[in-house]
Structure 1
């Protein structure tokens, strides 16, 4: 939508009125992730489906009806870093519309939620919101901008440009509609709530009349006599990484109600603080709070970011695809694309009405959830059977697998790994650790928790029954009826959007409506012998070259001992329930390695040297397991080792830790896809405050090249890959929490989906360039590098 120069100037000037009060007491709950994305709105559409999709932060007890008592008592956690804040904060979700086929992809988002003490300079007494208060700011049906109207001024957009290349350009100034150009570092959609309450009604028919903006400005001043109670000001910034998607003009960005202008952006708030006294303390006792939550002692004492990151939604969602896993043909609900200033298009006849479904699956009969326990040290807690499923793992699929084999304990780790046993081994106990340490979402249900790094979600059944026949499916009796697809981050990964360059074309260009909530595990790897180490987190062997039998260029090099703390072969790894000796040899050969090692009947490891001290063990007794082709393939912490020789003849002595010829593709930790001009820096310790804090994103298709190219494009000289799917950029290491230190390479043991070095848990595989950066180091600060007109 085009605006005249005079109207744009009026909007900017009106927004700048409050600048003198920039020092007002406030805190920012930055980087808050949605706890759920679904088509519910308990304020506007109580008891039924909402009209459009919402991204919802806060208490995990959100549902289609609201009461203060229900929200505060039923929420077991919150995505806010203050555990006592069970409030819900929501806005319409935002989609990217494909220029070619019109398909719509949900753009993941995060929130900065501000609590500001405004109005005290006028003599007003600022108080906490009353229990039970709900309110709405903005209007989803608005089609024009009234520059003299406070409710209209309270909604705005900021185009993020950390280079400040467009300072003073009115086309880039904060504005009331979507921008007419790409935003190089993302976009903020903003809404400022009214802060004056009538003192009597917790809601009103239009959900706005019981509230009012101050007399002087929408974001500051004293309250009118009709609404005399001045509550603390609440302001949302919804951060959307639009920069990771192509921009093609009007219609590129679409709100979930179909609006392509941004005029219909709005926000909802439902009070849910279990201890409103914390807000009172912020108002009265935190004079130095200038954004940082830690500067308010009362809030700092209870702040818990780990619990916020581990919080999972527990309620019901609408059973419909929302565009997070595959593009949609139409928006959820009755929301045709709505362009221009005219009335909203009508909904086509026959639009289906989906049902509600539970996100939490009740455990199978007889099973109980013991809680989160620590994995054993240097070995496994449960050693009798194991399987991995990167697509469909849930608590019940693991319980069914272990129960079918007669085991009483089932443990789920790293989202996709299942371990079984009748007792805990290697020093592990049933003593639980804080629940937030099991922070990984299940691969088959993102709303349930399946362990974490070196942590197991432990299940117990005192009478699991007799072992099932050998032909039983690992999860045949545990197929949940639904697989919720509403968006919720699976880890404490940085807020971001998967770059379009990392999206497979078959998904990015799809025009087929995805099936809602179907769960059929498609990639299950099973073993019933004593469990080995964690299944490799690298690329599936399905893409590896396969030979019909052992390659004549490879010779057996014995059976050697492996270790979970320091792998014998660290160059590359993969796992497959169809593993063969020839497959492993071919994989290692294609990667340029001279050693190929098979372990646990399904795991393949590659390298050019044997790390640490080689320990030869009895092949008959310890390398006893077989691959799918019947050949011996290692055992529990035991590797059947093969060495590639030019002639195929065995060497006279077994080489131990000798320097090897350079592989055709670089060995770990240097990936073969490192772009020219960049080199490996090594493995670097990370922390929650981040060693590289200039820019970050996550991608299920992460590669070293993707991370480096993104960081290079943004002007940074260092790029780091962590946890197999996270990318961090910067120019200098931050060291305030002990991060930024070089650590042994075996800490960077994970792989990206294509086999590149993917770092590890709190470990970055770092690459650097000596090229001159185009900008000075600056942290992302949750999208607040751009000057804020609301101050």
Structure 2
């Protein structure tokens, strides 16, 4: 896999002072004849003209004990190398860096200026021209919606949100989107490393992950339950129906969770979210507005047939088991994460009256709503040779025994880590959601659609402890 850094030339800037002339977008550099031990050497990842909406800088000075940085008109504040800025404005921008020593004395300022074009103006290999115009949403349906498909990237026992820096600390997850996600993933690495298995590739480096769906392994002749190498009942992963560009099956939706579409804001870069509760046990069923299961043949929908289950229902071949997971869409407006990974987000409320569905005062910023919609084929290789159904299936996160009387799936939850190109996220909101359109197959309703899916590593580690991990 290519790293995004391969597309970005490094610019090395040194000297005492690089001054930015914003009126002409030119740089003038002045240096003393003798360099100072506090002069900053600056390595820059954005080009002088780019459509990237983030920037990363590395800097050093021989005798520096610390650094201060300023972006555009901001005041100087303490910073460290590498310095990552997740949301850069369109147009002219500049960064200034200065070093200071143990006595608190500052060296001179080193600066770099660059210009950010609109990605739709500059063009991008992951934007494909199209003459297909999305249709309006159906009555009594979504307010406005954008749908993408993703291929499977890889599986692991990592979770960079809940267990950052801890290898193999989680239950078995299946990852979609950014191909390089592991326990050490950060906002900066998400934007600057790897490609994506989702439509949009480098324009959609967001990571999506869910606990693996597992089916018992049976001897297809005798119907007896097979055992793993430890003598325990064997399990196998049931893959979702994803990654087929010829017959698109969109699994990730972006929509509005509040009635006032004009109030909805783009999802901020680097936002981390969790939907659903992994620790859910029998008697604590989750609300169907957050996490739910259904068989495709039920033809379930919220408007006319709200037939949903908190657990995995018994769907028979050749049906599909479907899963819906809705993320909170009200943000506190400040934090990209929180200690419990939930408190910075909230679900909309509807208390009646003229406000309709709206965000609570504690989380006043409505953002684009994320939801996952997976389908799993009920196929012979995953079913009992006689019953031929999804009976006995469970999630790797289910912390209870799945029996004939107690179905699996109560722990349905997912994680989402944002690395959309901000200009594309803004187009999704403006062109599809606020316009009340049903945008399929990555169609941005502006003459472009996102490029197709691609395979990840497809790495599948062994199923350990019924998927619960080490």
Q: The TM-score by the shorter chain falls in which range?
A: 0.5 to 0.7
Question: Which residue does the alignment assign to 2:160?
Answer: 42
What is the aligned length? 293
Q: What CA distance in whole angstroms lies between the structure 2 residues aligned with 1:251 and 1:140?
A: 21
Question: Which residue does the alignment assign to 2:213?
Answer: 94
Residues 91, 268 of structure 1: 8 Å contact kept: yes
Q: For residues 183 and 211 of structure 1, do their structure 2 counterparts lie closer, same or farther at Cα, with a shift above 3 Å needed?
A: farther
Q: Mapping of 1:442-453 within 5 angstroms? A: none
Aligned with residue 462 of structure 2, among 321, 328, 332: 321
Question: Which residue does the alignment assign to 2:290?
Answer: 154
Displacement after TM superposition at 1:86 (Å): 0.3
Q: For residues 230 and 254 of structure 1, do their structure 2 counterparts lie closer, same or farther at Cα, with a shift above 3 Å needed?
A: same
- Secondary structure in 1 matching 2:253: strand
Displacement after TM superposition at 1:47 (Å): 1.0
The answer for unaligned runs of 5 or more in structure 2 is 1-137, 219-223, 226-232, 243-250, 403-407
Question: Which residue does the alignment assign to 1:194?
Answer: 328
- Secondary structure in 1 matching 2:350: coil
The yes-or-no answer on 1:290 pairing with 2:438 is yes
Question: Which residue does the alignment assign to 1:109?
Answer: 240
Question: Which residue does the alignment assign to 1:209?
Answer: 343
Q: For residues 293 and 176 of structure 1, do their structure 2 counterparts lie closer, same or farther at Cα, with a shift above 3 Å needed?
A: same
Q: For residues 179 and 309 of structure 1, do their structure 2 counterparts lie closer, same or farther at Cα, with a shift above 3 Å needed?
A: same
Q: Mapping of 1:299-338 within 5 angstroms? A: 301=448, 303-305=450-452, 308-312=453-457, 320-322=461-463, 330-334=465-469
The answer for unaligned runs of 5 or more in structure 1 is 1-18, 323-327, 335-352, 354-791
Q: Mapping of 1:451-462 within 5 angstroms? A: none
CA offsets, 1:554-574, max 9 Å, x none? xxxxxxxxxxxxxxxxxxxxx
Displacement after TM superposition at 1:204 (Å): 1.5
The yes-or-no answer on 1:264 pairing with 2:383 is no
Q: What CA distance in whole angstroms lies between the structure 2 residues aligned with 1:53 and 1:302?
A: 33
Residues 98, 252 of structure 1: 8 Å contact kept: no
Q: Mapping of 1:146-185 within 5 angstroms? A: 153-161=289-297, 173-182=307-316, 184-185=318-319
The yes-or-no answer on 1:132 pairing with 2:278 is no
Question: Which residue does the alignment assign to 2:374?
Answer: 238
Q: What CA distance in whole angstroms lies between the structure 1 residues aligned with 2:444 and 2:409?
A: 35
Aligned with residue 68 of structure 1, among 167, 184, 187: 187
The yes-or-no answer on 1:280 pairing with 2:426 is yes
Q: Mapping of 1:370-519 within 5 angstroms? A: none
Give the TM-score normalised by the residue count of structure 1. Answer: 0.34
Q: Mapping of 1:293-692 within 5 angstroms? A: 293=441, 295-298=443-446, 301=448, 303-305=450-452, 308-312=453-457, 320-322=461-463, 330-334=465-469
Q: What CA distance in whole angstroms lies between the structure 2 residues aligned with 1:96 and 1:186?
A: 14
Question: Which residue does the alignment assign to 1:143?
Answer: 281
Q: For residues 122 and 68 of structure 1, do their structure 2 counterparts lie closer, same or farther at Cα, with a shift above 3 Å needed?
A: same
Displacement after TM superposition at 1:21 (Å): 4.6
Q: What CA distance in whole angstroms lies between the structure 2 residues aligned with 1:176 and 1:264?
A: 9
Displacement after TM superposition at 1:288 (Å): 5.7
Which entry has the higher C-alpha Rg, 1 or 2? 1
Displacement after TM superposition at 1:291 (Å): 3.6
Q: For residues 73 and 35 of structure 1, do their structure 2 counterparts lie closer, same or farther at Cα, with a shift above 3 Å needed?
A: same
Displacement after TM superposition at 1:310 (Å): 4.7
Displacement after TM superposition at 1:238 (Å): 2.0
- Secondary structure in 2 matching 1:140: coil
Residues 29, 293 of structure 1: 8 Å contact kept: yes
Displacement after TM superposition at 1:223 (Å): 0.5
- Secondary structure in 2 matching 1:35: strand
- Secondary structure in 2 matching 1:89: strand
Question: Which residue does the alignment assign to 1:581?
Answer: none
Q: For residues 294 and 252 of structure 1, do their structure 2 counterparts lie closer, same or farther at Cα, with a shift above 3 Å needed?
A: closer
Residues 159, 186 of structure 1: 8 Å contact kept: yes
Displacement after TM superposition at 1:237 (Å): 1.2
- Secondary structure in 2 matching 1:136: strand
Q: What CA distance in whole angstroms lies between the structure 2 residues aligned with 1:264 and 1:283?
A: 30
Residues 143, 264 of structure 1: 8 Å contact kept: yes
Aligned with residue 252 of structure 1, among 392, 397, 411: 392
Residues 288, 295 of structure 1: 8 Å contact kept: no
Question: Which residue does the alignment assign to 1:52?
Answer: 171
Q: RMSD of the alignment, in Å?
A: 3.3
Question: Which residue does the alignment assign to 2:198?
Answer: 80
CA offsets, 1:90-118, max 9 Å, x none? 10011111352232111122450001134
Displacement after TM superposition at 1:122 (Å): 3.1
Displacement after TM superposition at 1:251 (Å): 6.1
Please identify runs of 4+ aligned residues in structure 1 that moved more than 6 A. none
